[in-house]
Copies of this chain bind each other. A is one copy, B any other.
Amino acid sequence: MKLYNHPMAPNPRRVRIFAVEKGIELELENVDLLGGQSHTPEFLAKNPSGGVPVLQLEDGTYLSESVAICRYLEGVRPEPNLFGRSLREQVEIEMWNRRMELELLMRTGSVVVNTHEMFRGFLTQFPEYGNAQRPVVQQRLERMDRELEGRQFIAGDRFTIADITALVAIDIGAMLAGIKPGPELKNLARWHHTVSSRPSASA
């Protein structure tokens, strides 16, 4: 299967990590987002929302939205399980994945796109709004540190899609927004070391 990808954007990285965890090899085709390639008629035919990742399935059709793509990969390759087995476990993991996405990844994304010079000229930036999200992200990281007290992973005692979302969010925040969780957040540092040491983290 082919994944329309960007080497730095956080959402394609979620899918790349997920695929490595599954042992699924994806053919990567990079899309020049800042060059406008995701908004060409040709690309919009694949994903009318004009973003990556987009997965081309075996039958030639296209699927977008990171979590939908990951769920598809879980369906075609159920092990190792990353979305939960019982109904109760599934919804618990979904709750945590959404918390990491809405409260951490999207907030961090708001800082990045509204403050980083890379996006100047590409979109209208609202730096005051973006900078106001920094302390919100910082507080969420501090809360994560408390949540990870006595708990090995984000959603409990095993690695799930929620860890992937959190890892990608923290790494993009450190790289493009200068938000680096300090070493005093010991549980968070321990978790980050653990998940960053998995082979999938280099995807």
Contacts of A69 in B (CB 8 A): 91
Interface-centre pick from A92, A106, A147 (highest chain B CB count, 10 A): A92
Q: How far is A90 from B94 in the complex, measured between Cα atoms in Å? A: 15
Interface stretch, picked from A21-29, A30-38, A124-132, A179-187, is A124-132
Contacts of A98 in B (CB 8 A): 65, 67-68
Q: How far is A129 from B88 in the complex, measured between Cα atoms in Å? A: 39
Which A residues between 108 and 136 are near B, CB-CB below 8 angstroms? 124, 126, 128-129, 132
Q: Determine if A87 and B68 form an interchain contact, defined as CB atoms under 8 angstroms apart.
A: no
Which A residues between 9 and 68 are near B, CB-CB below 8 angstroms? 48-49, 63-65, 67-68
A interface size (C-beta, 8 A): 30
Query: A91-110 CB contact bits vs B (8 Å, 1 = yes)?
Result: 11011001100010010000
Q: Which residues of A contact B (CB under 8 A)?
A: 48-49, 63-65, 67-69, 71-72, 75-76, 87-88, 90-92, 94-95, 98-99, 103, 106, 124, 126, 128-129, 132, 143, 147
A30 to chain B, nearest CB (A): 22
Contacts of A124 in B (CB 8 A): 132
Q: How far is A67 from B96 in the complex, measured between Cα atoms in Å? A: 11
Contacts of A63 in B (CB 8 A): 91-92, 95
Residue of B nearest to A90 (CB): B71
A124 to chain B, nearest CB (A): 6
A121 to chain B, nearest CB (A): 16
Contacts of A68 in B (CB 8 A): 91-92, 94-95, 98
Q: Determine if A65 and B99 form an interchain contact, defined as CB atoms under 8 angstroms apart.
A: yes
Q: How far is A106 from B75 in the complex, measured between Cα atoms in Å? A: 28
A4 to chain B, nearest CB (A): 14
Q: How far is A67 from B69 in the complex, measured between Cα atoms in Å? A: 17
